[in-house]
Amino acid sequence: MSKAERDAIIAPAEGLQIYNLTNNSSDIFSGGDWKSFSFSVNSNLVYVYSLADLPSPVGTTITLDATKMYVFSGFVDISPNAIIINGAGLRGTDPQKDMIVSNVSGAVLRSTDTSIFIENLAVVPFSASTKAYDFSDSTGNMYCNVFSGSSVVEIMPSLGVGQISGFKAITFTKNFWKVTDGLKITGNVGKFAVAYCFIENITNGSAIEFLSGLIIDDIDLSNNYFIYNGQTGIKVNAGATIDRGRLTTNMFRGVTTPLQGIDSYSKGWSMRQNTNIPDSRAFSFIYFNNNETPTTLTTVGTFYKIAGTATIVNQKRFITANSRMTYNDVEPITGKIVVTIGAKAPANNSDFSIGIAKNGTMITAPIASMAAASNNQSFQITLNTEVDLVLGDYIEVFIASNNSNTSSVIVNDLQFRVTD
């Protein structure tokens, strides 16, 4: 009966017991009052010890209740079925022992346009045609979180970790993969982060692969361990569009090709303290010797670009043409610049200054100057400075005459260097 019906009982007998439908409780009348002593527990937890504890398969798919958290215990073989997660949560309590096993063709765990939460639960793909995951989100509003202890471990060679497409954010932390092939990412993705994961046994592919259809804002890979012989660590296929990427403190041991499709100097990527991968830098070094092209100095005190064709020694994240260095990365830097020129005075008492122009406009300070007392006297000027640079900014070396004794000069030698 309801609570109202219970309270409407006239002179209930001492010890009378009823079930209260309002509060889902067992109530006893004692000492002149109703006392509740037992409540029905409505829990969203579903404990799974075997296939029988899951919803009945339809064909070879098991669709979970979106309102439930499924807690797996032990070795749960769902063969030959797959699970459609449907927004439910999945977890175990002991990631060494709690696992889902299936020999289904395709992915063991599947999801379309719902968020994913998995923790402390391993997946064992149990055939050559089985992979662990196939998750997709076309809405751009869902999250995919695969947290601590959610390993993928093979008993026999399989298709590996699987594929994830889309999602506002994809996060893997503290997981172990022992698989033939790793994880593939595609679709429109906001953020992809992998941290403190241990990956081994890759024999056919790469640990993490970004497919050609991928469009992603941010990639953050940090403190991961890639431990296997041969193969590839991280692969970026042609056609993948990545705005920003960060690769920090990852360990590669035995991996033949840690990176494929990108390197430390790829636009938008920052790489630091990864084994067998140089740290990211931005720099350019150009020079010319024995130049014979004069620089015309029409107006005293006005700076003009030094004429001459420079040779590139080395450069990363810069593009050089016509002795002009253009910064070509999305991360702003402060460029440290060193310029040295060598020339011969074209007239007695010649006096010159050099400086840096940014985007065609002379930077007024600092400049460096040198005067030569006699005609044909050799002189050298060195300038050290710093300039803030963003994508598309360019820098050049300019020179000016400080008196009217000459209207041109041949700069025979130039060394022009910038680094972050």
Write the pLDDT tens digit of every residue in 11-41. Answer: 888 888 988 877 778 889 888 888 877 655 5
Write the pLDDT tens digit of every residue in 80-134. Answer: 999 999 999 999 999 889 999 999 999 999 999 999 999 999 999 999 999 999 9
Residues 176 and 312 in one domain: no
Q: What per-residue confidence (pLDDT) applies to 31?
A: 84
Q: What per-residue confidence (pLDDT) applies to 92?
A: 94
Strands (E), 179-266: 183-186, 188-195, 198-200, 206-210, 215-222, 225-227, 232-236, 241-248, 251-253, 257-260
Asked, for residue 163, whether it belongs to a domain, the answer is yes
Can you spell out the DSSP letters for 251-268?
Answer: EEES-SEEEES--TTSTT
Residues 233 and 358 in one domain: no
Residues with Cβ within 8 Å of residue 358, at least 6 apart in sequence: 387, 389, 393, 394, 395
Residues 228 and 87 in one domain: yes
- The list of the chain residues with pLDDT below 70 reads 38-42
Residues 256 and 321 in one domain: no
**Domain range for 205:** 45-272
Residues 250 and 336 in one domain: no
The phi and psi torsions of 52 (rounded to 5 degrees) equal -65, -20
Q: What per-residue confidence (pLDDT) applies to 35?
A: 85
CB neighbour burial string for 354-382, b if at least 16 within 10 angstroms, e if fewer: bbbbeeeebbeeebbebebeeeeeebebe
Domain count, the chain: 3
Q: What per-residue confidence (pLDDT) applies to 40?
A: 57
Verify cis geometry, omega within 30 degrees of 0, for the bond prior to 80: yes
CATH number at residue 200: 2.160.20
Residues 50 and 26 in one domain: no
CATH number at residue 335: 2.60.120.40
